């Protein structure tokens, strides 16, 4: 699966989980897996389905061992868990999408999966993830200790899952933490937003004064200098 597609689908899954987890009381899916994620229509809209095992978090934790072993966080076997089990399951979903391989497919039965999960042994497919950023995100989701996992909010704020605006900003020079002014570089990656002003592989460098500048002022200055970030006509 292409990283762009993986990013889009996972971002939508995270938004769905964020919706469930921010209800009052929060809703824990408890059986999130790729089999329960549906791609609808030509737009590629992602929907989370099969809420049959979902539960309302009326207390600080839930009980009962329930779910699909390959996607169950270790604390589910201890019957003392919260919304972070959905983060763990999301990590396993992302692993399956990145490798096209079901997690723990090397195991012959649920007992073998249980022993590996409760011992903190990752699926064999984890080592097949080639993109280091994707691998880091998956690892941060499937940590054995739930307190060490990223939250859904953390994941939504992660740069990897940022909305694709067609514009990328990066540091032109290393920030040593002592400068009042940063040298930045902006790349327009979407040819539709270039309008013939700049080449596809050309970056625009500019300075940003942390004390005196604002994002709005810098954007207006770029427009004045004929750097057009609008949609093509």
Return per-residue pLDDT of the chain as tens, 233 residues: 888 889 999 999 999 999 999 988 888 998 999 999 998 876 678 989 877 666 654 544 444 556 799 999 999 988 788 999 999 999 999 999 999 999 999 999 999 999 999 999 999 999 999 999 999 999 999 999 999 999 999 999 998 988 766 666 677 676 666 667 777 777 666 555 544 454 545 667 777 787 787 877 777 776 666 555 454 44
* pTM (two decimals): 0.70
What is the CATH number assigned to the segment(s) 167-230?
Answer: 3.10.20.90
User: Which distant-in-sequence residues (6+ apart) come within 8 Å of 171 by Cβ?
Assistant: 182, 183, 184, 185
Of residues 43, 134, 173, the one with CA closest to residue 125: 134
State whether residue 28 is helix, strand or coil.
strand
Count of alpha carbons within 13 angstroms of residue 151, beta-carbon side:
8
- pLDDT for position 42: 65
State whether residue 45 is helix, strand or coil.
strand
Q: Evaluate whether 31 touches 71 at the Cβ level (below 8 Å).
A: yes
Tokens of 83: 């919304």
Residues 95, 167: Cα–Cα separation, whole Å: 28
Q: What is the DSSP string of 123-147?
A: PGGGGG---HHHHHHHHHHS-SSGG
Sort residue 151 into left (φ over 0), alpha (ψ -120 to 50) or beta. beta
Task: Point out the catalytic residue in the list 31, 35, 50, 131.
Answer: 50
Q: Is 131 a catalytic residue?
A: no
Q: What residue ranges of the chain are covered by domains with CATH 3.10.20.90?
A: 167-230
φ, ψ of residue 62 in degrees (nearest 5): -110, 160
Of residues 66, 68, 122, the one with CA closest to residue 95: 122
Q: Which segments within 37-111 are labelled E, that is strand? A: 37-40, 45-48, 55-56
> Measuring CA to CA, how many Å separate 186 from each of 101, 168, 231?
37, 6, 17
Q: The CATH number of 3-161 is which of 1.10.510.10, 3.40.50.300, 3.30.360.10, 1.10.3720.10?
A: 1.10.510.10
């Amino acid at each position: 699966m292409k990283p762009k597609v993986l990013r889009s689908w996972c971002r939508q899954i995270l938004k769905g989980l964020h919706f469930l987890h921010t209800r009052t009381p929060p809703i824990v899916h408890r059986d999130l897996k790729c089999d329960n994620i549906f791609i609808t229509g030509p737009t590629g809209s992602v929907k989370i389905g099969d809420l049959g095992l979902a539960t309302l978090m009326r207390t600080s934790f839930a009980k009962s061992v329930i779910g699909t072993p390959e996607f169950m966080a270790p604390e589910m076997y201890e019957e003392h868990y919260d919304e972070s089990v959905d983060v763990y399951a999301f990590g396993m979903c992302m692993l399956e999408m990145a490798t096209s391989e079901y997690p723990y497919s090397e195991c012959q039965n649920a007992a073998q999966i249980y022993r590996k999960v409760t011992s903190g042994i990752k699926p064999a497919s984890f080592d097949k993830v080639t993109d280091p950023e994707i691998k880091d995100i998956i690892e941060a989701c499937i940590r054995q200790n739930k307190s060490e996992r990223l939250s859904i909010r953390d994941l939504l704020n992660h740069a990897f899952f940022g909305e694709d605006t067609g514009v990328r900003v990066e540091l032109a020079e290393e920030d040593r933490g002592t400068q009042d002014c940063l040298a930045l570089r902006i790349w327009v990656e979407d040819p539709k937003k270039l309008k013939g002003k700049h080449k596809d592989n050309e970056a625009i460098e500019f300075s940003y004064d942390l004390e005196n500048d604002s994002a709005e002022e810098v954007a207006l200055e770029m427009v004045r200098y004929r750097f057009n970030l609008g949609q093509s006509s």
